[in-house]
Structure 1
Amino acid sequence: MGALSGLRVIEVSQVLAGPFCGYQFALLGADVIKVELPLSPDCARGRGPLPTLNAAGIGLTYQVQGGNKKSLALDFRVGPGRAALLKLVETADVFLENYSTGVLDGFGLGYDDLRKCNPRIVHCSMTGYGDTGPRAAKGAYDNTIQAASGAIAQCDGQKPGVSFVDYAAGYSAAFAISAALLQRERTGEGCHISASMLEVALSLMAPEAAAKQASEAKSKVREAGISVFDTADGRLMLGAFKPTQYRKLGACLAALGHNIPLLLGIRDWTDVENHSAAIRTAIELVFRERTAEEWQAILEAADIPAEKILPLEGAVASPQIAARGYFVHSPADPSISLPLAAYRMSLGGPMLTGAPPKLGHDNCQILEGLGYGPEAIAALRNTGVMQ
């Protein structure tokens, strides 16, 4: 039994942020029903590095956040489909959607509509900019939010090659939903949650974002102790963050015959700021004398964090990831490894027990559970409302 067994989540979402949020609940045993338009399903189904899976509508981009869910292919924009979805809402605890602000309201499926048939529903709307403000109705993707938030500018004008805003937004929304469910246990009332990707991106840069609003704030210094250095055979990310770690680094290098007084003299953050440029110049040549692996062993022995910069294929194949069991085989295809959650629990923790479903795989089961008979289901299918 997962920690969230017995909870029903309706996920009307697409691409990354919304599906990833729903995946967190599915991994913990919740009954997550992914609702998609029959003729315009989640575009992630057709994305990924394996063309065969893309053509089958189960691309890897979809699969990494589609496990343990059920699939309902339903055109909720038309009367019969909307009625079926509202009937499903009556049975649900959570309604999660990531359409642009106001889109579902236009179909009679906004929060005010849903709570009429289920006052206890926890409704989460995930959008680029939130549901208020001058950009509320504007669509967004991870990359455009990275641009609008200043994240790309903070990375020297280069967009990081990962969708970190999408996934952080999924985690943030999952936390908000969980809090709302706990609140409902105390008050008996559901609520509406407006989740903003832009605000998530700023939250990921909270110290920097706060500093930009302080008129007396100084420009951020490139700290030597948390910089990248070339070694004899690769690049090393140093993790001497605190002043005490600068002194440890100084002692470590001195033991190797490299006496650098600036390091040993670091006492506080002001010293770090004032001397980082000189320290970096002093230790650059030192790090070139040994391999990244040698430096990592030396620095770890001195209680100084450091990691060789690995390619992604090296990171996913690391013994640490294997020991934690982060990747598990797909229940449908043992040749495919899919991620679990980034935590473990002693009871009721995340498990992957069901393969990511093909579009509409659970149509009949879901509708029969709502009281639809064979003729009613056939009518929905014949009119194109359901796949």
Structure 2
Amino acid sequence: MTQRPAGALEGIRIVDLTQMLAGPYCTMMLADQGADVIKVEPIEGDGTRTGGPFRDDDNLRVYGGYFASVNRNKRSIGLDLKTADGRTMLIKLVRNADALVENFRAGVMERLGLSYEELRKENPRLVYVSIRGFGDPRTGRSPYTEWPAYDPVAQAMGGIMGITGPDAETPLKVGPGVGDLIPAMMAAYGLVCAVLRAREVGMGQYVDVSMVDSILATCERIIYQRSLQGINPHPEGNRHPLLAPFGMVRAQDGWITIAAHTDEFWKKLCVIMKREDLTEDPRMLSREARVDNKAAVYDAIEAFSLQHTKDELKMLLGGKIPFGPVYHIDEIATDPHFAIRDMVVEVEHPGCTKPLSIAGVPIRMTETPGSIRRRAPLLGEDTDEILWDIGYAAEDVARYKQLRVVR
């Protein structure tokens, strides 16, 4: 019987020079689908290894939850790229790779002599992916090219904060680091597209992903609203500017979401609430009328929802109209949906007696299912194997370890 592949990307090798969140999340997505991701870390390791959080029973503290979550399924080698030998090793890795991903500031790889232009001489099929705050000058020099950027910078300048918040005057940071996570997804998508092209024509290319651009692309609605309506969208609280009801209302023990903006779903909701009279109310007769009279629509729904708990509302509304309770992680962890879909996965954690829970793989494939096959690596855990694979003898590896070229 033929062994099932690790995933759809089995056979693709990626050299991963990234740290923090955007780059590691990109390469994590690829590793989850079977790609061989070689995480090239500085001799002292990715800075997020020491950032925690750590569990009380962790007696090693080799890495915390942050690192464990986004670096699973990867192999690690510690490499000093400031040395000539270290750079030579990286070049040898690149010769056998399909892609390289980095998220340094513009110019760092050039100063190391490891620019895209230099590396493509070693491997013309190489797909070189960079994730930077404001993109790379190769595809369009931004006036902010040299600015450092993190998640809140991308959220702020890309427009998502400007339409998120409790009222029109109060912008709000989105909870998860979408300023990193969305560019990561864009980069993974771009990498796969470019690798497919390289395998077809035998030539790689540079893939440039800007964090700020990625957020703006996610906020595409504000662009056409300005163009079509001549407006400058602001935060709308927990409601949608163009649809109603399409947002959050209170329950006895928290909040729920309802998206009953179509006439069909609105009528069903009114029947469930025993408010059939609302279907005849001129303020709510059409989709457009409900948007124009959002306050009255939400007031009517909340008068009903406040009489029930979230669980009671699940029984009343679930499966009948688009509805979902606002969950916290304790509720997610006990909901059968996430267990059946393997969205909370336990992995071994070095130094702990009990496994660590991390998020599962949301992309499901029937023939080549991605999976979490191994925990995040220890620093340099796979150095020997990786260097042997590119032609170094065991005695050479031992010597380079002594010289601290590798770890």
**Normalising to structure 2: TM-score of the pair?**
0.87
2:334 counterpart of 1:317: yes
Q: Are 1:169 and 2:187 an aligned pair? A: no
Identity %: 29
The amino acid that maps onto 1:61 is: Y
Which residue is equivalent to 1:286?
304
Match of 2:374 among 354, 364, 376: 354
TM-superposed deviation, 1:104: 1.1
Of residues 146, 169, 174 in structure 1, which corresponds to 2:155? 146
Partner of 2:92: 87
Partners in 1 of 2:190 and 2:200 — Cα distance?
A: 16
Q: Which runs of 5+ in 2 are unaligned?
A: 166-170
The correspondence for 2:46, drawn from 42, 45, 52, is: 42
1:308 aligns with: 325
Secondary structure (helix, strand or coil) at the match of 1:259 reads: helix
Task: Tell me which of 335, 344, 347 is aligned to 1:327.
Answer: 344
- Given that 2:279 and 2:285 are in contact with CA atoms closer than 8 Å, whether structure 1 keeps it comes out as no
Change (3 A) 1:14 1:242: same
Corresponding residue for 1:298?
Answer: 316
1:234 paired to 2:228? no
Instruction: Please list the CA deviations of residues 348-382 of structure 1 after superposition, one character each: whole Å capped at 9, or x if unmatched.
Output: 11122222111011112111222222343233223
Q: Report the CA distance between 1:7 and its aligned residue.
A: 1.2
Partner of 2:215: 201
1:344 aligns with 2:348: no
1:367 to 384, 387, 390: 387
Judged with a 3 Å threshold, the aligned counterparts in structure 2 of structure 1 residues 55 and 113 are, in CA distance, closer, same or farther, namely farther
Shift of the alpha carbon at 1:22? Answer: 0.8
Aligned alpha-carbon RMSD (Å): 2.3
Give yes or no for the alignment of 1:29 onto 2:47: no
Amino acid at match of 1:283: I
- Corresponding residue to 2:206 among 192, 196, 200: 192
Q: Distance in 2 between matches of 1:338 and 1:230?
A: 30
* Contact in 2 for aligned 1:262/1:275 (Cα 8 Å): no
Distance 1:284 1:369 in 2: 63
Question: Which of residues 92, 112, 117 is equivalent to 2:117?
Answer: 112
Does 1:57 find its partner at 2:74? no
Q: Does the alignment pair 1:126 with 2:144? A: no
> Which residue among 241, 245, 266 is the counterpart of 1:225?
245
- Alpha carbons of structure 1 residues 264 and 323: separation in structure 2 relative to 1, 3 Å: farther
Contact in 2 for aligned 1:246/1:264 (Cα 8 Å): no
Distance 2:335 2:281 in 1: 33
In structure 1, what is the equivalent of residue 168 of structure 2?
none
Can you list the C-alpha shifts for 1:258-312, whole angstroms capped at 9, x where unaligned? Answer: 63246687454422321212222333323222223222322235x2122222212
Kindly tell me: are residues 262 and 381 of structure 1, through their superposed partners in 2, closer, same or farther at Cα, counting changes over 3 Å? farther
State which drifts further: 69-78 or 259-268. Answer: 259-268
Q: Give aligned pairs, total.
A: 383
Contact 1:250 1:263 (8 Å CA) reproduced: no
Contact 2:244–2:291 (CA<8 Å) still a contact in 1?
Answer: no
**1:146 positional shift:** 1.1
Distance verdict in 2 for CA 1:317–1:163, change over 3 Å: farther
**Letter aligned with residue 330 of structure 1:** V
Name the amino acid aligned to 1:288: L
Alpha-carbon distance in structure 2 between the residues aligned to 1:276 and 1:283: 11
Whole-angstrom distance in 1 between the partners of 2:365 and 2:286: 39
Q: Secondary structure at the match of 2:318?
A: helix
Structure 1 residue 272 and structure 2 residue 290: aligned?
Answer: yes
Residues 268 and 123 from structure 1, CA distance in 2 versus in 1: closer, same or farther, beyond 3 angstroms? farther
Contact 2:151 2:180 in 1 (8 A): yes
SS at match of 1:13: coil
Q: Deviations over 1:154-212 (max 9, x none)?
A: 22222122112322222111111111111112211111100111111112211123323
Q: Is the 8 A contact 1:142 1:166 kept in 2?
A: yes
- Distance in 2 (CA, whole Å) between partners of 1:101 and 1:203 is 22
* Gap regions ≥5 residues in structure 1: none
Match of 1:155 among 144, 160, 164: 164
* 1:252 positional shift: 3.0
> Do the aligned partners of 1:231 and 1:291 also contact (CA within 8 Å) in 2?
yes
Cα 1:11–1:262 change in 2 (3 A) is: farther
Give distance in 1, aligned partners of 2:218 and 2:402. Answer: 48
